[in-house]
Amino acid sequence: MADKPLYKRVLLKLSGEALMGAKGFGIDDAVVDRITADVVEAYRLGVEIGIVVGGGNIFRGVSVVAAGGDRTTGDHLGMLATVMNSLTIRAALVAKGVPAEVLTAVPMPTICDTFTQRAADAAFAAGKVIVFAGGTGNPFFTTDSGAALRAAEMNCDALMKGTQVDGVYSADPKKDPTATRFETITHQDVLAKGLAVMDAAAIALARDNRIPVIVFSVHESGSFVDVLLGRGRATTVTP
Ligand code: UDP
């Protein structure tokens, strides 16, 4: 166990579903409060934190395709959903006294600033938590890929993937009681075994840029800080 954080700058990826709690749709304020409290604690340790949040609690592009619609339009709606979640997280952080800024891949200047590496460098230099909204800004991608992309662009030391379970398993532990948990695994093995950690494009981007992916559960209070201090339960995906 370390008394100092293992990483100086991290990218925290949260799925949209993590924000909806037991509600089944949308945003549960109590969950946002708990997760942002963890982020505040990590911030107070001096960690530079970028956050990418998904939009699956509000909208997913594939649901439009399932209904016979156009994927690109659906993905635009999904990206807008990530902006709603991002604004919510920023507001919760600011309410807790932590400076935070949303930078979006999809320009909407009346609502928040547009992502550029320069703007993000300036925000980190000013001591802000950055919420990167809009995923990659392109259809046919996911916010997992957006998270890996921002982690690479911003030279993050780790990509912290907050999930429903406490690491990477050989199979879905909720469906298969014989599933075993990995303490560490390589990016290449995640891809070769087809493990559902993040989508393949995101894992490949992390692999090519030698960014470790730390997979942990966001359901327990304090888990983000525990993992940052090397005492939490997590799987480390290493180069
Ligand atoms: N999306 C997209 N491009 C991106 C990121 C997201 O088109 O770079 C859209 C896509 O429709 C996706 C939705 O936004 O389904 C929500 O993102 P995601 O599914 O990654 O959210 P999560 O599963 O993490 O909640």
CATH number for the domain that contains residue 182 = 3.40.1160.10
Whether residue 23 is contained in a domain is answered as yes
DSSP reduced 3-state for 135:
coil
Q: Residue whose CA is closest, atom 18 of ligand 1? A: 54
CB-ligand 1 contact for 21 (6 Å cutoff): no
Whether residue 229 is contained in a domain is answered as yes
CB-ligand 1 contact for 79 (6 Å cutoff): yes
CB-ligand 1 contact for 74 (6 Å cutoff): yes
Token readout for 32 is 């946002």
Give the separation between CA 45 and CA 119, rounded to whole angstroms. 23
Whether residue 216 is contained in a domain is answered as yes
Q: How many domains does the chain have?
A: 1
Whether residue 86 is contained in a domain is answered as yes
- Which runs of E-coded beta strand occur in the chain? 9-14, 48-53, 100-104, 113-114, 129-133, 158-163, 168-169, 181-182, 184-186, 213-217, 235-238
Please give the residue range of the domain that contains residue 124: 9-238
Note whether 162 and 224 are within 8 A (CB). yes
Whether residue 201 is contained in a domain is answered as yes
CB-ligand 1 contact for 162 (6 Å cutoff): no
Per-residue tens of pLDDT for the chain, all 239 residues:
567 999 999 999 999 999 998 888 999 999 999 999 999 999 999 999 999 999 999 998 888 888 888 999 999 999 999 999 999 999 999 999 999 999 999 999 999 999 999 999 999 999 999 999 999 999 999 999 999 999 999 999 999 999 989 999 999 888 899 999 999 999 999 999 999 899 999 999 999 999 999 999 998 899 999 999 999 899 999 99
Whether residue 57 is contained in a domain is answered as yes
Q: How far is the CA of 54 from the centre of ligand 1 (A)?
A: 6
Give the separation between CA 35 and CA 78, rounded to whole angstroms. 22
Whether residue 2 is contained in a domain is answered as no
Mutational pocket test of ligand 1: of 83, 84, 142, 160, the residue with most ligand atoms within 8 Å of the beta carbon? 142
Q: Residue whose CA is closest, atom 23 of ligand 1? A: 56
Whether residue 218 is contained in a domain is answered as yes
pTM flag (> 0.95) = yes
